[in-house]
Structure 1
């Protein structure tokens, strides 16, 4: 879905009410803006977390030491504990 949203002279823009409602932002809330080579992406907090988890899983699946326990063990080793 593509929707035109106007930006005021002071830089504000409004998301249409039906979109805010579908995204769970009817009572307000935060969105995360990501600038990409293709344009701008807006994500809700839940969408941003899901995206971050997907990226982390992509990299963690390739490494055996990509666990919290492995990370902490390496930190202890590096610090001399």
Structure 2
């Protein structure tokens, strides 16, 4: 697909692409410069990517879950 970048920097994404990614009414995207490419991600895509990375980083590690963190904090305060 082609997209047009206007002289003012605006980017016009094709309708099919906007529909596929839930941007039919417009919206924000995150822009990543990888050095070799420009990557656009919706906010939902960026959150899902961060969650997947977090799961990989803590997989199998004891004490790495949110529940473990909260339990430790409760132990620090003596609250039950």
Aligned residue for 1:56, secondary structure, equals helix
User: What is aligned with 1:8?
Assistant: 6
Preserved CA contact (<8 Å) 2:4 2:13: no
Moved over 4 A (4+): none
Unaligned runs of 5+ in 1: none
User: What is aligned with 1:55?
Assistant: 53
Could you tell me the TM-score, scaled by structure 2's length? 0.74
RMSD between aligned residues: 2.1
Summarize deviations over 1:8-39 as a string: whole Å, max 9, x none: 22111111111111111111112111121331
Aligned residue for 2:16, secondary structure, equals helix
Instruction: Count residues with an aligned counterpart.
Output: 76
